[in-house]
Amino acid sequence: MYKADEKRYDTMEYRRCGASGLKLPALSLGLWHNFGDTGDYSNMEAMCFTCFDNGITHFDLANNYGPEYGSAERNFGRLMKDHFMPYRDEMIISTKAGYDMWPGPYGNWGSRKYLIASLDQSLKRMGLDYVDIFYHHRMDPETPLEETMGALKSIVDSGKALYVGLSNYDGDTLLRASAILDELGVPFVINQNRYSILDRTVEKNGLKQTGMKLKKGLICFSPLAQGLLSGKYLNGIPEDSRIKTDGRFLNESKLDPVTMDRVRALGELAKRRGQSLPAMALAWLLHQEAVTSVLIGASKPSQILDNLTALENTEFTEEELREIDGSGSI
């Protein structure tokens, strides 16, 4: 039986989600990759033990994480049953619904039918009575925003989620959604969006600025730009890399000369700072006032330990920030 490290809270930083009472660790574990049916269960155990032993208390899932759909939640449920139930009240567990999950018109987007049914399925897979945060995973151009936000209220009122979040929203839609949730009295505390040195979409679409104005938290996924900022592609494409094993989100076309020159320049800056490139990329996000937590993905425990070194130096000089903006932004 797993026994957590008694010093697990000694070095982790915990940040408040906007103006709410909820705090998240500066780094959280995302289970998007490597926790599905193609993953190795003993490796999943080792990664989750490494996280929790180092103060990473937040584990982030979605209904269709896998492959296959639902398998990451199912495997996480096994981890909970085998090891983590004694620590449930020390953990923040989140899941989402909004992308394709099951066939037919009721297994996608943002209807009341889909969101409530999906969470019920997620809780069964994980063996949980509730999640700490439930997200609507993406904007729905057809379902009325009032219906989607009303479903989130029903979910909280039912006790199946303590807080709600919105993921992949833009600033304008966030503003309208937040107003509805405020009127309904729903504890909306956080936005989840892609954000990295190489992807500044949340700056361009107003999400970051609007979230700060509304005093909501921001948790960032793909902080290493799907591996571009991992440093592993500077000298070619390793056989075990995601490009070779799963080219859906990162493929060779993204490794163009201009991008790779930017990545090399960022790597040189990281060396001068005494950090690995991925650690600097995480530290850059954590340097920003708007960011509550950064979601890390990993395929082995050593990557988690390397990512934790980002917490050792999250300060940047003005010159370093200018250099990052000049060589890193797209």
pLDDT band at 244 (very low <50, low <70, confident <90, very high): very low
pLDDT at 14 over 70: yes
Q: What backbone torsions phi and psi does residue 30 show, to the nearest 5 degrees?
A: -95, 135
Q: What per-residue confidence (pLDDT) applies to 254? A: 67
pLDDT at 320 over 80: yes
Q: Which of 63, 45, 29 lies closest to 297 in space, CA to CA?
A: 29
pLDDT at 107 over 80: yes
Record the tokens describing residue 97, joined without a space: 């619904």
State how far the Cα of 3 lies from the Cα of 207, in Å rounded to an integer. 40
Q: What per-residue confidence (pLDDT) applies to 237? A: 59
Q: What per-residue confidence (pLDDT) applies to 317? A: 98
Q: Which of 234, 327, 233, 314 lies closest to 279 in space, CA to CA?
A: 314
Measured between alpha carbons, how far is residue 191 from residues 111, 138, 165, 219, 241 in Å?
19, 11, 6, 6, 29
Q: What pTM, to 2 d.p., does this model score?
A: 0.94
- Please give the domain boundaries of the chain with CATH numbers for all domains: 14-227+279-312 (3.20.20.100)
Q: What per-residue confidence (pLDDT) applies to 256? A: 84
Q: How confident is the model over 131-170, as pLDDT tens digits? A: 999 999 999 999 999 999 999 999 999 999 999 999 999 9
pLDDT at 236 over 70: no
State how far the Cα of 22 lies from the Cα of 190, in Å rounded to an integer. 10
State how far the Cα of 148 lies from the Cα of 139, in Å rounded to an integer. 9
